[in-house]
Amino acid sequence: MAITTAQSPFRTDPLTGLRIDLTAQTLVKTNAVLAVVFLLVGGIAGLLVALTRWPAVHLLNADLFYMALTAHGIVALMVWIIFFEMAVLYFVSTTLLNCRLAAPKMAWTQVVLMTVGAATTAVAILQGDSSVMMTSYVPMNAAPHFYLGLILFAVGALIGCGVFWGTLVIAKEEKTYEGSLPLVVYGCMIATVIAVFTIANGAIILIPTLLWSLGLIKSVDPMMYRVVWWAFGHSSQQINVTAHITIWYLVASLAFGAKPISEKVSRTAFLLYILFLQLGSAHHLLADPGLSSAWKIFNTSYMMYLAVLASLIHGLTVPGSIEVAQRRNGLNNGLFEWLRKCPWGNPVFSSTILSIIIFGFIGGISGVVMSVEQVNMIIHNTIYVPGHFHGTVAGGTTLAFMGLIYYLIPVLFQRQLIMKPLAALTPWMFGIGIAILSVALMGAGTLGVPRRHWDITFAGQALGFEWPGMAQMMMAVAEIGGVLSVLGGAAFCVIVVGSILIGEPVPANAKNIVAPPADAGGHKDIGMGGLEAPGTFVLAMVLFVTLVLYYFINFKYLATLWTLA
């Protein structure tokens, strides 16, 4: 076999039976640990934001609040997530394809550039003259090294994508696997294609902005900035969606021996992401001047909602694959026996299922509704927007990543998790906290409360006015949820670091992978009503009805407003 000629030594992991390239393993560990460190930093900044927007606490002064908010956005939304995505790319491309990592030196360059870039931007923020929010809309200006750090970070991420692609090429050439790419590798490949598009847009807009901040060019057009920046900013979240959905599939396989119900359907849904997902950057531009309704409608709908359709498909096929595997293993009674008998106390599973539920019901439904051209007018820049994206990014991406990290610690570090009862609790603390935060922020946003705002009491302002008591209460409830999620996140970080440092070694004969069930004869043998996954279908219909009702409730509210034309 070609493998024996590869330069890197491998080990066979006893827990999973997978062959792991040791060079890749070191890089995966490094990226994952850096990710968790930045998660902790982002979480602390988030706690400060939450404790300031909680009206009764109002912790920070205005300067520090806007600084903490800038830091929270950049670190929690970009740095932590992209570091862990690098770990996922290296792990998936080597271990799942039974291949060595291409160009380890380039991979180390990725680590160095991303670390230096993140640190540079962090320093700029902490120096206090770059409290420009993650979006840094021109002509508001930050210090030059604020932009420089982001550019270095993005170049690092681009190199990481290149190493992933190089590994795919080596695996193909050396025939380390047979047939088509596994679905999980395919999903990661889709994410890297979106990443290249994203980073290119980041370069197109951040490099001129850096030159402008240095005084080398005269101005950057505010509209061009927003259009191109969002092709970077929104698309980077589409990388995350693709990555965390891939991780849903992966965990469903590891924890249940599940496989996709139909490879064809899941792969086509991923392909729709490449074709249409990036159009979503228009969501941020719906209230802007100068863009036509035709442009807005085409883009905001991802060309007739084809990317939404893709997400709705994954939302069915991932839990559906779990249901089919459970039914084949004998849990075939009624609609929901398979679900009741899931390992709810296992943090790898509970993180994943909570990620699916929060992403679908909170992030997904709100995202579809708020991105309607007209409904956006009652939501744009209100605190509804952070409500939405905490449902997608924190509840969806971060929670899914946490679950995979819990899984990978015994595999990569050969140590068991410490404080297992607390570890079982953390996904619930983080998930429920984020769910409360998201829903309450959406409620406050519906009442008009603005995002990125230090003082909604307008104390001392001549033109100030009072928000309804309900809006104040919603903000308090939201931030209580925020604090709960930070506690869950902090416990997660302690468990991860503690397990790496002082965790018990993994026992010699332990296994951490579930064998796939024998193929059954389709819906004749399992399921109900001619469906192999009837329970998932019922749950999907609950989501569907919720979405339809919420969609029309928003139009009903919209129709009571001033006439606008």
Please report whether residue 421 would count as binding another protein according to CB under 8 A: no
Question: What's the CA gap between 162 and 337, in Å, rounded?
Answer: 44
Is residue 11 within a helix (H) or strand (E), and if so which, with residue range? Answer: strand 10-12
Q: Which is nearer to another protein, 127 or 180 (CB)?
A: 180
Compute the half-sphere exposure of residue 91: CA atoms within 13 Å on the CB side of its CA: 25
Q: Rounded to whole angstroms, how far apart are CA atoms 35 and 561? A: 45
**From 40, 161, 163, 312, residue interacting with another protein (rule: CB under 8 A):** 312
- Binding residues among 119-178 for another protein as defined by CB under 8 A: 131-133, 137, 139-140, 177-178
Nearer to another protein, 117 or 320 (CB): 320
Total residues at the site for another protein (CB under 8 A)?
117
Burial 195-208 (b: 16+ CB within 10 A, else e): bebbbebbbebbeb
Q: Mark the segment that binds another protein (CB under 8 A) among 157-165, 190-198, 409-417, 519-527.
A: 519-527
What's the min distance (Å) between Cβ of 286 and another protein? 8
- Give the nearer residue to another protein in terms of CB position, either 69 or 490: 69
Establish whether the linkage from the previous residue to 139 is cis, with ω within 30° of 0: yes
Determine if 447 is a binding residue for another protein (CB under 8 A).
Answer: yes
Residue 238 sits in the site that holds another protein (CB under 8 A)? no
Q: In what helix (H) or strand (E) does residue 204 lie, and over which residues does it extend?
A: helix 183-213
Selected from 57, 214, 216, 221, the binder of another protein by CB under 8 A is 221
Give whichever of 124 and 181 is closer to another protein, judged by the CB atom: 181
Q: Exposure pattern of 440-479 as b/e (b: 16+ CB <10 Å)?
A: bbbbbbbbebebbbeebeeeeeeeeeebeeebbebbbbbb
Residues with Cβ < 8 Å from 408, sequence gap 6 or more?
28, 32, 91
SS (H, E, C) 230-270: HHHHHHHHHHHHHHHHHHHHHHHHHHHCCCCCCHHHHHHHH
Q: Does 558 bind another protein (CB under 8 A)?
A: yes
Site string for another protein, 242-261 (x = CB under 8 A): -------xx-xxx--xxxxx
Q: Is the CB of 421 or the CB of 530 nearer to another protein?
A: 530
Q: Which position among 491, 516, 520, 546 is part of the footprint of another protein (CB under 8 A)?
A: 516
From 47-55, 145-153, 307-315, 430-438, give the range in contact with another protein by CB under 8 A: 307-315
- Contact between residue 254 and residue 514 where contact means Cβ atoms under 8 Å apart: yes
Both tokens assigned to 136: 């840094």
Q: Is 222 in the site for another protein (CB under 8 A)?
A: yes
The residue (of 155 and 308) whose beta carbon lies closer to another protein is 308
Q: List the one residue out of 447, 234, 216, 492 whose CA is nearest residue 354.
A: 492
| 468 counts as binding another protein under rule CB under 8 A | yes
Tell which positions 267-286 bind another protein, by CB under 8 A: 285-286
Q: Would you tell me how many other CB atoms lie within 10 Å of the CB of residue 173?
A: 10
The single residue listed with the structure tokens 């619930």 is 428
Residues 477-506 binding another protein (CB under 8 A) are none
Q: Which of 288, 414, 420, 500 binds another protein (CB under 8 A)?
A: 288
CA 143 to CA 128: how far, in whole Å? 9
Q: Binding to another protein (CB under 8 A): which residues in 65-124?
A: 66, 92, 96
Of these, 462, 469, 508, 524, which contacts another protein (CB under 8 A)?
462
**Binding of another protein by 215 (CB under 8 A):** no
Site string for another protein, 29-68 (x = CB under 8 A): ---------------------------------xx--x--
Choose which of 193, 291, 422, 494 interacts with another protein (CB under 8 A). Answer: 291
Contact between 521 and another protein (CB under 8 A)? no
Question: Interface with another protein includes 565 (CB under 8 A)?
Answer: yes
d(CA 201, CA 64): 30
Kindly tell me which residue out of 207, 217, 271, 377 binds another protein, with binding defined by CB under 8 A: 377
Q: What's the CA gap between 36 and 32, in Å, rounded?
A: 6
Task: Give the C-alpha separation, 494 to 413, whole Å.
Answer: 16
Residue 448, by phi and psi: left (phi above 0), alpha (psi -120 to 50) or beta? left
Closer residue to another protein in complex, CB, 111/318 = 318
How far apart are alpha carbons 152 and 122 in whole angstroms? 13
- Residue 263 as a binder of another protein (CB under 8 A): the answer is yes
Which residue, 433 or 534, is less far from another protein as judged by CB?
Answer: 534
Nearer to another protein, 345 or 522 (CB): 522
Residues 345-374 that bind another protein (CB under 8 A): 368, 372-374
Does the protein bind another protein through residue 305 (CB under 8 A)? Answer: yes
Question: Least distance from C-beta 258 to another protein, angstroms?
Answer: 7
- The SS3 of residue 383 is coil
Our CB check for another protein shows the closer of 422 and 528 to be 528
Segment interacting with another protein (CB under 8 A) among 146-154, 162-170, 312-320, 387-395: 312-320
In the complex, the smallest distance separating the C-beta of residue 504 from another protein, rounded to whole angstroms, is: 27
Q: How far is the CB of 405 from another protein (least distance, A)?
A: 17
Torsions phi, psi for 81 (to 5 deg):
-70, -45
Under 8 Å between Cβ of 331 and 346: no
Q: Which of 398, 485, 402, 492 is nearest to 51 (CA)?
A: 485
Looking at beta carbons only, is 223 or 501 nearer to another protein? 223
Nearest to 245 by CA among 117, 401, 377, 394: 401
